[in-house]
Amino acid sequence: MLIEGGMGGRSKLATCGQVVAMAWRRKGLAARRRGKGGGRRSGGGTGDVVTCGSRRHERGREARVVWPEVDADAPRQFIGDGVIQGIAFGGSGDGGVRVRDRPLTEEYEFDREVPDYNHYRFLNATMFLPFQELQSLSLVDLGIQGCIPGAGFEVWSNLHKLEILDLSWNQLNDTTILSLDTLPSLRSLSLSANLIIDAQIIKRLSKKRLKVLDLSSNVIVDNLPREVCNMTSLQTLDLHGNLFFGELPSCMGDLNSLQVLDLSHNLLKVRFPSLNFVNMPSLAYLSLSHNQLEGMLSLSSFSKCIRLKYLGLSSKSTNFQVRAETPVANMSMQLQVLELSNCRLNINSGVLHSLLLHQHGLLSVDLSNNNLSGHFPTWLIENNRYLSYLSVQNNSLVGPLVLPSKVNNYLVWLDASYNMLNNNIPVDISTKLPNLNQLSLSRNSFGGRCPSSFGYMENLQSLDISYNNISDDIAACFVRPQPRLTALFLSNNSFHGPLPEFLNFTSMEYLVLNNNNISGEIPTSICSISLLAFVDVSNNRFSGSLPNCISQISNLHSLNLRGNYFSGSIPADLCHLQFLTFLDLSKNRLSGQIPSLPNLTYLHLSENNFNGTFPLPLSSNSNLRTIDLRYNQLGGEIPSIIAEAFPELRVLLLKGNLFEGMISKQICHLKYLRLLDLSNNMLSEGIPSCLSSMGLIGGLNSFQFQYNSLNTSDIFIPGGIASEVFNGTLSELDQEEFTTKSRQDYYKGNILNYMSGLDFSSNQLQGSIPESIGNMQWLRALNFSNNSFSGPIPKSLSNLSNLESLDLSHNKLSGRIPPELTALQFLEVFSVAYNNLSGPTLGTKGQFITFDQRSYEGNLGLCGRPLLKNCSITPSVPLPEVDEGHDRTGDLILFGSSALFYAIGFWTSLTVLYFKTSWRWALFSAVDRFTDLLMVRMAILMRRFHSTD
C-alpha cells in the first residue's frame, strides 16, 4: 500500500508487522509497527508517535492509524486478520495527501456558467468506501471546500462502523455537511473552524445518538434550535465562537449526560434562574462567558455538580448577578478555572469569600469588572499555591498591594489595573513572585519610585504601570538588560531624566512612555531593537534631531513623537520603513520640506515649521486615510491629482497654511472623505458644485486603528495584558482637531466614526453657495464664515438633518433666511451674522428659539426676535365686541385659570423635555401654537381691564 504525505516523502510499508500509529511531519512519514519480525522504521522517524504542525495554527496532533499487513504490489488486497480502525490526516492545506496513490482532494473545475467556483479543492469521499471496518476518521486542516458531485458525504452511509469523524479547520459549508446525518453509527462529530452559517445541521443531527458535537469557531448566525434538547446522549457540546442569538432554551438544563458545555462568545440571551444545572451532575466544564447573561444565578444550583472544574460566567450584560447562599461550604466541587467578570459581585459582598475561601486547586481566576471593594485578595494566592492567572481588573480595591508571605513560583499573570491601590509598589515583588511574565498595575494611585527589582524579573514579558503617580528617573526602570521583555508601558507618570541606552532589550516590541517629563535625545541604541513595532514617547521633553538610524527598525509599525521639542528635518530614509502605518510628529519644531513617505495609513505633521508644497506619496493608490498638516507654512495649490494619489482618504486637515488658488474639483472624487478643513488659507474663487459627490461611501468606519500586521495574541497567553493595553492605546492614537460649535475639539477613538464636517472659513472664496451642498446629509458641521460668498442662503441646507453647527457669518449673503431651516432639529450653533440679509429671523421657531441676537447681528435688514428691531405689524385680527356689563370676577377667574394652566403646562413640558428626546421636539411645536393663542386671550383681558377702569 502506498501512502504519500504532502509535507514530504514517500514510503512503502514493510510487511513484517501491523502498523498501529502513523503521522506526517515535514521530514516525511514515520510509523510504529508491531509483530513477530520486529520491523524497521521508514522515513526517518525518531519516536513512537510523531506530531505534525499546521501553518494555520501551531499545535501538535497525533495521527493514529491501524493498518493490516499489505502487499505493496497489490494495494487493494488486504492480507491477514488485521482491520483498519482509524485514519488521520493533517496538513497545511496546500501540500495534498494521497491514499493508495489516489489524491485525497482533487482540483475540480465547475462549468464556467457557474460564477466564482473555478479551481476549488473538493473531496472524493468514495475513496474511503473500501475501509468497511473504519471507526475513526480525521481530515483536519486540509483546505477541503466541498465534495465532488456524486462523491459526497452521503456515500459514507455505507460505513456502518464509523463512529468518530473530525473535519475541523476546513472550508466546508452548510450544503456540503447536511448529508452527514446519514452516517448510521456516528457518535462524535467535529466541524469546528469551517464556514457553517446556520443551525440546520443541529436539527438534522438531533435524532442521532451523538455523544460529541463540536461546531465551534464557525459563523453560525441563527437561534439555537430547541431540537438540541432532544440530544440526550450528548456528553460534549461545543458551540463557542459563533453568532448564535436569541434566548437559550431552558430545557438544556435537562441534558443530564453533559460533561462539557461551551456556549461562550456568542450573542445568546441566557436568563436565570430559568436555566438550572441541578439535573447536570456530570458537568465538568461549563462556559457561558461573553453572552448576554441576565437575572440572578444562585451558586446553590451547582451543588450537585461535584465534578465541575471549569466555570465561566463572564457576562456582556450589566443585568446579571451571581449570588451565594449560605452555607456555600456544602458545595464539594473544587474548581480549577473560575471566570466571573462583570457579575455584580459587589451587590453581595459575601460571594467572594464564601465561594473562594474553600477553594484550594484554582489555576485561573477572573474577577474583573465587579466593583469589588476592600483590599487586594492576597489570601487567594496563598490558598491556591498553583494559581497561575489572577485578574481583579476594574474594581474598587484600596490600600497597598500586599504580596503573599511565601514565595509563589506559579503565578505568571497578575492584573490589578483600574483600582484604587496606593502606596509604593512592593520592592520585593521579584522575590515573592519571581516567575511573573505579565504584570499590569496601571490606573491606580501608586506613588514613590519605580522598583529596581523589576530588572531582576527574568521572565517578565509585559510590564504596565502607566497612569499612576510614580516619580523617578526613567533610568531606574532599566537597571538591568531584560532580553525577554516584550512590552513596557510607563505612560502618564512623572518619570524624568534622559533615556538610558537600550542594551540587550532584544525582544522589545512595544515601548510606551508618553505623558511624562523625559528629556534629552532619543539614544541611537533604540535602532538596534529590530523587533520594535510600536513606539509612543509623545508629550515629553525630548529634544534634538530625529535619529537617522530609525529606518533600521524594519518592523516599526507605529511611531508617535508628538508634543516634544524635536528640531531639524524628517530623515529621508524614513520611506524605507515598509510596515510603518502610523506617524505622528506634530507639535514639534521640525522644519524643511516633507520628504516622500512610506505607504502610511495615518499621517500627523501639524504645528511644525514645514514648508514647500503638498507632499505626495512615492506611488499612486496610497493607503492614507488621515492627513493632518495644520499650522505649517506649506503653500502652492492643492494637487489636482489628490483623488488619484489618496483614494482611501477619510480626513484632510490643511488649516493654517499658505495654500492658494481654487479648490480642485478632484476633491469631489474622494468618495470616503468626510472631514475636510481648508480654513485659514488663501484659497480663492468658488466652491465646486460637485462637492456633494464627496464622502458618498459609508461613514468613517475605519478610525479604529487597524494593526493587523501584528498578532498580539500570539505573543502572550490568551488575551494578553500587552494586547489589551495596546488595543486601548491604539483607539486613542488617531485624534483629529476640528472646529465645530464655535470651539476647537479633539475627536478620537469611536467618536470619529460619527464626526463629519466641512470648514472653508477664513479664505477668499466667493460666488454663491451651491444648492448641491444640501445633498451632503452626513454633515454635522458646516463653516463657510469669513469669506466673500454672495447670493441667497440655499434652501437645500434644510436637508442636512444631522447638522449640529452652521456658520455662514462674515460674508455677503443676501435675501431672506429660508424658513425651511427650522427643520434642523439638532442645530446647537447657528450664525449668519454680518451679511446683507433681510426679513424676519427664525427666532421663534423650533431649535432657533435657543439662539440669541449674536447669531443675527450685523444684518441691517433683519428683524424680529431675538433682535430688538420689530418687523412691520400686519393688520390685526378684528377683536370681538366686549360686553361692558361682563362680571369682573369672571374675568379674574378666567385670568387666574389661564395662568395656572400655563404654569402646569410649563413644568410638564420641562419634565418631558428632560426624559424624552422624541417628545421634546413635538412639545416645542405645541408650545409655539399654544403661546400664540394665549397671547391673544391675554390681550383681550387686558383691554377689558383698561376699559372698565
Bigger pLDDT: 114 vs 902: 902
Return the ∠ at Cα 230 (arms to 228 and 234), rounded to 5°.
75
Query: Residue 736: is its pLDDT beyond 70?
Result: no
Cα separation, 694 vs 838, in Å, equals 32
* CA trace torsion 864, 870, 874, 878 (10° rounding): 110
- At 82, the amino acid letter reads G
Structure confidence at residue 280 (pLDDT) = 86
What percentage of the chain exceeds 70 in pLDDT?
Answer: 71
> Would you state the pLDDT for residue 946?
59
Segment 11-63, tens digit of pLDDT: 332 223 332 222 222 233 333 333 333 333 333 333 333 233 333 333 333 33
> What pLDDT sits at residue 62?
33
Q: What is the pLDDT of residue 943?
A: 61
Give the pLDDT mean for 374-382. Answer: 92
CA distances from 444 to 394, 672, 849 (A): 10, 41, 46
pLDDT-wise least confident of 83-87, 190-194, 300-304: 83-87
In this predicted structure, what is the pLDDT of residue 517?
A: 96
| Sign of the dihedral defined by the CA atoms of residues 697, 703, 709, 714, in that order | negative
pLDDT value of residue 900: 72
- Backbone Cα Rg of the chain: 36
More confident call, 121 vs 282: 282
Sequence-distant (≥ 6) Cβ neighbours of residue 725 within 8 angstroms: 440, 442, 464, 466, 487, 489, 512
pLDDT at 930 over 80: no
Write a three-state SS string for 747-784. Answer: ECHHHHHCCCEEECCCCEEEECCCHHHHHCCCCCEEEC
The whole-number pLDDT of residue 531 equals 92
- Reduce the DSSP state of residue 406 to 3 states and report it: coil
Q: What is the DSSP string of 188-254?
A: EEE--SS---SSHHHHHHTTS--SEEE--SS---SB--GGGGG-TT-SEEE--SS--EEEPPGGGGG
Q: Which amino acid is at 393?
A: Q
Question: Could you count the other beta carbons within 10 Å of the beta carbon of residue 935?
Answer: 10
Higher-pLDDT residue of 566 and 41 is: 566
Name the band, by pLDDT with cuts 50, 70 and 90, for residue 224: very high
Under 8 Å between Cβ of 103 and 96: yes
Q: Render 461-486 in DSSP notation, one character per residue.
A: -EEE--SS----BGGGGGSS--TT--
Report pLDDT digits (tens) over 307-326. 999 999 999 888 888 876 55
Nearest alpha-carbon partner for 711 in 451, 892, 509: 509
Q: Which residue has the higher pLDDT, 918 or 666?
A: 666
**pLDDT higher for 703 or 398?**
398
What mean pLDDT is reported for the chain?
78
User: CB-based contacts of 819: which residues, under 8 Å, 6+ apart?
Assistant: 842, 845
Q: What is the pLDDT of residues 684-700, one digit of tens each?
A: 999 998 888 888 876 54
Task: Please give the average per-residue pLDDT across 175-197, as a whole number.
Answer: 94
CA distances 560 to 19, 355, 487, 490, 605, Å, are 60, 46, 16, 15, 11
Check if CATH label 3.80.10.10 holds for domain 766-872.
yes
Q: What is the pLDDT of residue 79?
A: 26
Q: Is the peptide bond before 647 cis (omega within 30 degrees of 0)?
A: no
Helix, strand or coil, per DSSP, at residue 712: helix
Task: Give me the mean pLDDT over the 354-365 stretch.
Answer: 86
Question: What gap in Å lies between CA 143 and CA 150, rounded to an integer?
Answer: 20
CA distance 188 to 184: 12
What residues contact 11, with CB distance under 8 A and at least 6 apart? 3, 28, 29, 31, 42, 43
Kindly report the number of other CB atoms within 10 A of residue 315's CB atom. 25
pLDDT band at 339 (very low <50, low <70, confident <90, very high): very high
- Tens-digit pLDDT profile for residues 543-556: 999 998 998 999 99
Q: Does the structure show a pLDDT above 80 at 102?
A: no
Whole-angstrom distance, CA of residue 890 vs CA of residue 883: 12
Q: How far apart are CA 929 and CA 920, in angstroms?
A: 15
Reply yes or no on whether the pLDDT at 251 is more than 60.
yes
**343-to-15, 247, 278, 447, 716 alpha-carbon distances in Å:** 62, 19, 21, 31, 26
Upper half-sphere CA count for residue 514 (Cβ side, 13 Å): 17
CB neighbours (10 Å) of residue 928? 13
Q: Return the minimum-mean-pLDDT range out of 95-99, 186-190, 436-440, 615-619.
A: 95-99
Rounded CA-CA distance 29/798 in Å is: 74
Residues 798-811: tens digit of each pLDDT: 999 889 999 999 99
* Higher per-residue confidence, 502 vs 425: 425
Q: What is the pLDDT of residue 86?
A: 61
Lowest mean pLDDT among 417-426, 616-625, 787-796: 616-625
- What pLDDT, on the 0 to 100 scale, is given for residue 117? 36
Instruction: Return the higher-pLDDT residue of 58 and 787.
Output: 787
Is 74 in a helix, a strand, or coil?
Answer: coil
188-190/164-166 β-pairing: parallel
The length of the chain in residues reads 949
Q: Is the peptide bond before 571 cis (omega within 30 degrees of 0)?
A: no
In the predicted structure, residue 751 carries a pLDDT above the cut 60: no
Continuous H helices in 337-389 = 351-356, 378-383
Tell me the per-residue pLDDT of 879-913, one tens digit each, with 9 for 90 and over.
344 344 444 555 566 566 666 766 776 776 666 56
Alpha helices (runs of H) in 812-867, residue ranges in sequence order: none
State residue 37's pLDDT score. Answer: 38
pTM above 0.85, yes or no: no
d(CA 22, CA 64): 5
Tell me, what's the pLDDT at 725? Answer: 44
Q: What pLDDT digit, counting tens, does each position of 407-434 carry?
A: 999 999 999 999 999 999 999 999 999 9
Specify the residue for cell string 494619489. Answer: 645
- The strand ranges marked E within 82-221 are 86-90, 98-99, 102-103, 105-108, 120-123, 136-140, 146-147, 164-166, 188-190, 212-214
State the pLDDT confidence band at 112, using cuts at 50, 70 and 90: very low
pLDDT at 64 > cutoff 80 = no
